[in-house]
Structure formats: structure tokens, C-alpha cells
Amino acid sequence: MGTIFRQRLLTILSIIIQFTFFLHTVQSLQLQTFQKLPIPANGPESMAFDSKGHGPYTGINDGRIVKYLGPKKGFVDFATTSANRTKKLCDGNTNSNLELTCGRTMGLEFNHKTGQLYALDARYGPMVVGPNGGLATPLAPGQPGLEGVPHDLPDGLDVDQVTGDVYFTYAGSVFLTGNLTLILSGDTGGRLLKYDPKTKKVTLALDGLSGPFGNAVSKDGKYVLITEYITRTIRKFWLKGPKANTSEVIVTLPGHPDNIKRTNSGNFWVAQTIINLDSTPPSSIPLGQKINAHGKILETLKLDSEYPDKSISEVNEHDGSLYIGTGSTNFVGLFLR
């Protein structure tokens, strides 16, 4: 090998290395561009994108489900969950005492085949919204498994995109006390429920859960991952195969997990809050972590400078960008990639 050739090879290698490094730097720099998409009330708890990739849609604490139309138009009305809701009383209201009248959507996901939007209301339980929005319809009024409403907390929801089955969680009645010490002391009254659109029946899938705030069905429909807020764990409940109907803990997290959302590639983002009960009032450090099917942590996103001393409820990846949900802020956070 001649000297000149070797030098050229080294130069080319060095350019490749520098370029790779440059790309990597650009990617992490872009992720630091944090934007706030204003919402017309507070608390964009959970988000969903429709089959055309439009959205996000999010449920806010004045009872509306709103849809994002881009930076110029912002969020506009899409649906509501309470038949008793009036725009005059509820729009822009941030007082949770009006939840029963105005509604409050916690979990949200589309069935991408039918275009239906499934919403889990904190007071009215699981509901469905047609492709054009408007007033949601209760999925299974008065059926077994739903008798907990309103004395239990409906919280997380996802759709099995293979079968159309809807999985949702009731986090347990202890959460209605709002006493964090009591909550973290170990309730096991949470449940995972399943709605089958073919039979229109709700059945119990798994009980004995410790604060199941969120759930996400795998891309292939073989299992559901469930967050357990109290124990800081992710539980894998098998839907198919030899382990069907059994569950196992796949990871213990640094923070208390809220919603879990599947990514296009089949991994999951888990929104978490590290809570320090020793400080008065208790302090919070929010973070998101991306995990794979086995609970291996692939990425960690610290959010303490964007959400100082707040908890976050969701990290939702869409086209590589990350949308951040919370129970309290008046915006959806966005890290554009």
C-alpha cells in the first residue's frame, strides 16, 4: 500500500468519523429545542394521533378532547364525554369539582382500522368517539367490571391494533384520596379490563395491580405492558402463547410510572416522576425512559428544567418527535426532532 493511498484512506476515514459525530450531535441538539403548544385549559393527560398521522388529540381538564391543527390554528374542539356538559359552564374551567358535569378524559387511543377514538373518562369510564368527533358514547353501560365508577379511578387505555380489543385500567379507589403517603403505602386494588368490540362485553383481564396508571399493547398483540405507579414497575401480561393469562415484572424504574406509549418501531416510552416524600411538600423530578419488550432501558430523557418540580403523565413519540403530557400544565410539551 503506497503512502499517498494510505493518507487518503486516513483522510476519508476521518471525514466519515467526523460526519457521524456531527450527525449524532445534531440529533441530540435538535431534541433540546423544547416548544410549548398552548391548550385552552389545563392538563393534557394523554395523547393520540389518528391514522393519517394528524394530531395530537388530547383530553384536557375542562372536559374537552381537543385536536392540534398546527402552529397557526393550535388546538380546536373535537369531542366531549359528558352529555351534561355546556360550553358556557365548562370551557376553560380548571376547577376539578366540575368533572362530573364537564367530563375528564384520562386515556386516549385510536383504532387505526376503523378510525374510532377510544377515550377513558375519569367519571364515565370507557367511551368511543366516531371519526368526526362530537359526543362520545359509553362502551358498555352498567356492565360487570365497571361497577367501580365513580369510586375507582379509570386511568390508562390502549387499543390492540390487531384485534381491535380495547384494554384499560382502573387504578384503584385509594387514588381518589389524593394522599400520597397512603397511595405509596401499597394498594393492590388496580385492574386491567378488556372490551371486546365483537361481543360488546367488558371482562376482567388481570387484578391485584398496584396503581396501574397506564397500559400499552405490543405491536404484534402478544402482550400488554402495564405500569404500576406504587411499586415503580412495568408488568408484562401475556395475551397469547404458552404464558397467556400470566404476568411478570420486567423492570423496576427510578420513578413512579404513569402512561406508557408504544412507538412505531415497537418499543415503549414510560413517563415517570421521582418523588421525594421527605421534603415538605414532596418534591418531584420528571423523566421519560424508552424501554424495549424485555424492559431494557434504551434512552433516558430528563425533564426537570422543562417541568421544574412537576410530574409528567406521558411521553408520546410521533415521527421521531416527543410530545409530553401532564396533569397540570396549560401546554403540551414538544421536543421536535
Measured from the CB atom, the residue of 47 and 206 that comes closer to ligand NAG is 206
Contact mark string toward ligand NAG, 104..123, x via CB under 6 A: --------------------
Measured from the CB atom, the residue of 168 and 269 that comes closer to ligand NAG is 168
Is 100 a binding residue for ligand NAG by CB under 6 A? The answer is yes
To the nearest whole angstrom, how small is the minimum distance from the Cβ of residue 100 to ligand NAG? 5
Residue from 16, 76, 182, 297 in contact with ligand NAG (CB under 6 A): 182
To the nearest whole angstrom, how small is the minimum distance from the Cβ of residue 228 to ligand NAG? 20
**DSSP three-state, residue 87:** helix
Taking CB under 6 A as the binding criterion, the range among 22-30, 40-48, 112-120, 179-187 that sits at the site for ligand NAG is: 179-187
Reference 314, options 293, 287, 336; nearest CA is 287
Is 179 a binding residue for ligand NAG by CB under 6 A? The answer is yes
CA angle 277–107–272, rounded 5-degree value: 30
Measured from the CB atom, the residue of 124 and 213 that comes closer to ligand NAG is 124
Residues 233-272 that bind ligand NAG (CB under 6 A): 244-245
To the nearest whole angstrom, how small is the minimum distance from the Cβ of residue 176 to ligand NAG? 13
Calpha distance 202→167 (Å, rounded): 9
Calpha distance 108→157 (Å, rounded): 6
Can you name the residues that pair with 159 across neighbouring β-strands?
A: 166
Beta strands (DSSP E) in 55-95 are 57-59, 64-68, 75-80
Reference 140, options 193, 201, 196, 191; nearest CA is 201
To the nearest whole angstrom, how small is the minimum distance from the Cβ of residue 201 to ligand NAG? 11
Reference 250, options 232, 229, 273; nearest CA is 232
Is 101 a binding residue for ligand NAG by CB under 6 A? The answer is yes
Note the helical H segments in the chain.
Answer: 3-31, 87-90, 99-102, 180-183
Measured from the CB atom, the residue of 132 and 280 that comes closer to ligand NAG is 280
Measured from the CB atom, the residue of 110 and 168 that comes closer to ligand NAG is 168
All three cell numbers of 95, joined, read: 376547577
To the nearest whole angstrom, how small is the minimum distance from the Cβ of residue 115 to ligand NAG? 28
To the nearest whole angstrom, how small is the minimum distance from the Cβ of residue 240 to ligand NAG? 8
Measured from the CB atom, the residue of 235 and 261 that comes closer to ligand NAG is 235
Measured from the CB atom, the residue of 35 and 84 that comes closer to ligand NAG is 84
Calpha distance 129→118 (Å, rounded): 6
Is 181 a binding residue for ligand NAG by CB under 6 A? The answer is yes
Contacts of residue 244, defined as CB under 8 A and 6 or more positions apart, other chains included, come to: 238
Calpha distance 13→19 (Å, rounded): 10
To the nearest whole angstrom, how small is the minimum distance from the Cβ of residue 101 to ligand NAG? 6
DSSP state of 282: P
Measured from the CB atom, the residue of 126 and 333 that comes closer to ligand NAG is 126
Is 84 a binding residue for ligand NAG by CB under 6 A? The answer is yes
- Binders of ligand NAG: how many residues, by CB under 6 A? 8
**DSSP three-state, residue 158:** strand
Calpha distance 239→12 (Å, rounded): 51
Measured from the CB atom, the residue of 100 and 162 that comes closer to ligand NAG is 100
Query: What is the per-residue DSSP string for 167-219?
Result: EEEE--GGGGG--HHHHTTT---EEEEEEETTTTEEEEEEEEES----EEE-T
Taking CB under 6 A as the binding criterion, the range among 35-43, 72-80, 177-185, 289-297 that sits at the site for ligand NAG is: 177-185
In single-letter form, the type of residue at position 172 comes to G
To the nearest whole angstrom, how small is the minimum distance from the Cβ of residue 127 to ligand NAG? 13
Residues 287-326 that bind ligand NAG (CB under 6 A): none
Binding site for ligand NAG (CB under 6 A): 84, 100-101, 179, 181-182, 244-245
